[in-house]
Amino acid sequence: MLHFDDIVFGPIFSRRLGSSLGVNVLPSKGKLCNFDCVYCECGWNKDGIAERRFPSLEEVEAALEEKMSKASAEGVPVDSITFSGNGEPTMHPDFPEIIDATLRCRDRYFPQAKVSVLSNATLIGRSAVAEALMKIDNPILKIDASSDALISMINKPVGSYRLAEVIEAMKKFNGNFILQTMFLRSPDFDTAAPEALENWMDIVRELKPREIMVYTIDRETPDKSLQKYTVEEMTAFVRPLMDEGFKIQVRG
């Protein structure tokens, strides 16, 4: 399974993001998340318990400073800085301060670089987490399914989770976020079954995200019974929203 050992890694070059730095503020060995998604590239939570210590704010700041000052001195471009890593970044107790430190470092060395955070959105009900996400260029927030029942099968929340509360918290972004949704099916569920899909589209219409990223499983997943969708199938699923003017990226 995929694990990140460094706090700041890269830059990695991709056509989509250009030259991108990755930031992992979760413990370096293992995985820490309040979801346990059937498709998680970091594996199941139970298999990832190795080290529980978050890197400190000072360590994250020093890693960002070191990586960005070196890239700047060597003339290596940085177009984007993306938080993902071994779990849910907003679980870090100093997440808001880490975002402030990242923006300061970005402004100093690569003011044009876009800061993105991939989050499962479980903690956006906390005002400090929501405010931090609103400061960055791309808050990428996950809703994989349209009901608590489906979410409990796909994302397996650890502790309490209510989709209605997450939707309410997401409304405070006034559409200024990117919604990320995984389409997949297994013998037990299908996130693109007609009713589930229709309800998900209604959530999108309510939230009006400035952009939507739909994708499907790619790498090895902990649940081996999962099946992916093709780009053509996913494009057909979201066609009504595209026709209504939503900006949607479909990735296979």
| Residues in touch with ligand SF4 (CB under 6 A) | 33, 35-37, 40, 42, 87-88, 120
Which amino acid is residue 110, in one-letter code? F
Q: How far is the CB of 102 from ligand SF4 (least distance, A)?
A: 19
What is the rounded CA–CA span in Å between residue 192 and residue 216? 11
Q: How far is the CB of 190 from ligand SF4 (least distance, A)?
A: 19
Please say whether the dihedral angle defined by the alpha carbons of residues 44, 39, 200 and 209, taken in this order, is positive or negative.
positive
Q: How far is the CB of 36 from ligand SF4 (least distance, A)?
A: 5
With respect to ligand SF4, which residue has the nearer C-beta, 36 or 94? 36
Tokens of 241: 């929203």
With respect to ligand SF4, which residue has the nearer C-beta, 20 or 90? 90
With respect to ligand SF4, which residue has the nearer C-beta, 99 or 184? 184
On whether the CB atoms of residues 122 and 144 are closer than 8 A, the answer is: no
With respect to ligand SF4, which residue has the nearer C-beta, 42 or 212? 42
Quote the strand ranges of 124-206, DSSP E. Answer: 138-142, 178-182
Cβ neighbour number for residue 246 with a 10 Å cutoff: 18
Cβ neighbour number for residue 8 with a 10 Å cutoff: 23
Q: How far is the CB of 155 from ligand SF4 (least distance, A)?
A: 6
With respect to ligand SF4, which residue has the nearer C-beta, 3 or 67? 3
> What's the distance, CA 246 to chain centroid?
20
Q: How far is the CB of 11 from ligand SF4 (least distance, A)?
A: 22
With respect to ligand SF4, which residue has the nearer C-beta, 39 or 200? 39
Q: How far is the CB of 112 from ligand SF4 (least distance, A)?
A: 28
Classify each residue of 50-84 as buried b or exposed e, where b means 16 or more C-beta atoms within 10 Å of its C-beta.
eeeebbebeebbebbbebbeebeeeeeebbbbbbb
> What's the distance, CA 34 to chain centroid?
13
